[in-house]
Amino acid sequence: PRVGIVVVAAGSGTRLGAGGPKAFVGIDRHSILRHALDGVFSAPSAQVVVVAPAGREGDARTEAIEAAGDRADLVTVVTGGTTRQESVAAGLAALWGDVEVVLVHDAARALTPPEVFSRVIGAIDAGAAGAIPVLPVIDTIKRVSGDEILAAVDRSELAAAQTPQGFRRDVLDAAYAAAIDDFTDDAALVAQAGHAVSAVPGHPLAFKITTGADLDRARHLVGADTA
């Protein structure tokens, strides 16, 4: 396939406090990872690399094969690292030779609708080196140092970054090869390497499940019986 999707699912889930890796926590009868993969497989035929926590590779494969249906041959599972960036690098190393466009997606953004994937792929196909979904910032934002307010920040210049983040494969590979700092997203790394990254509209449902309140929201949205 021309497109490869790296799904990073190797986080510890410390902030969720569910007592295990976040990707395997249930939303309804399906896990966070399974929901994320259902969205991923809505994209046209792509290689799907699942980056799993060490020791949970078999569980990740089972979930991916189920989500893949008749496209199980497109699934690759690799072991993640201690940071997100290391996990992405492990996923990139497993991409097949024919992949030209790479999407990097947080499994924790489990309810991301298919249209966000197609917008990102569309922007790359239209010539962008990289494209990421963003949403306007709703809160008023301050720059702070401890308890001191240093400055107000003009909200109209800000956007919240989501995933999937898409890149030309040659650009992302080179940015990872040159990476010095640890970044929390791939667009920052590609920007440091000197490439322009475009913004496409994100989606409220692409929110990241981080805290217990986020998990409650996800459960409510899928109509899970949480009683």
**11 contributes a contact to ligand C5P by CB under 6 A:** yes
Choices 56-64, 104-112, 136-144, 212-220 (CB under 6 A): range interacting with ligand C5P: 104-112
At closest approach, how far in Å is the CB of 217 from ligand C5P? Answer: 15
How far are the Cα atoms of 81, 149, 157 from residue 103, in angstroms, in the given order?
Answer: 18, 37, 25
Please choose, out of 78-86, 134-142, 146-154, 169-177, the segment that lies near ligand C5P by the rule CB under 6 A: 78-86
Residue 159, SS3 per DSSP: strand
* 106 touches ligand C5P by CB under 6 A: yes
CA angle, 192 then 197 then 198, to 5°: 160
User: How far is Cα 76 from Cα 54, in angstroms, rounded to an integer?
Assistant: 15
Q: In this structure, what token pair is assigned to residue 171?
A: 């650009």
**165 phi and psi, to 5 degrees?**
-105, 125
CA distance 207 to 197: 20
Contacting ligand C5P (CB under 6 A), which of 173, 205, 210, 214?
210
Which CB sits closer to ligand C5P, 28 or 86?
86
Give the count of residues interacting with ligand C5P (CB under 6 A). Answer: 18
User: Shortest approach of ligand C5P to residue 108 CB, angstroms?
Assistant: 4
Distance of CA 213 to the CA centre of its chain: 19
* Cβ distance to ligand C5P smaller for residue 12 or 62: 12
- Nearest approach in angstroms of CB 82 to ligand C5P is 5
Longest dimension (CA), the chain: 56
Give 8 or 95: the residue with its C-beta nearer to ligand C5P: 8
8: Cβ contacts below 8 Å, ≥ 6 apart: 51, 80, 84, 87, 88, 91, 104, 105, 106, 107
Contacting residue, 51, 124, 175, 187, with ligand C5P by CB under 6 A: 51
User: Are 140 and 66 spatial neighbours (Cβ–Cβ below 8 Å)?
Assistant: no
104 binds ligand C5P (CB under 6 A): no
Q: Which residue is nearest to ligand C5P (CB)?
A: 11
Residues listed for the chain: 227
Stretch that binds ligand C5P, among 103-111, 114-122, 144-152, 174-182 (CB under 6 A): 103-111
| Contacting residues toward ligand C5P, per CB under 6 A | 8-11, 22-23, 51, 80-84, 87, 106-108, 208, 210
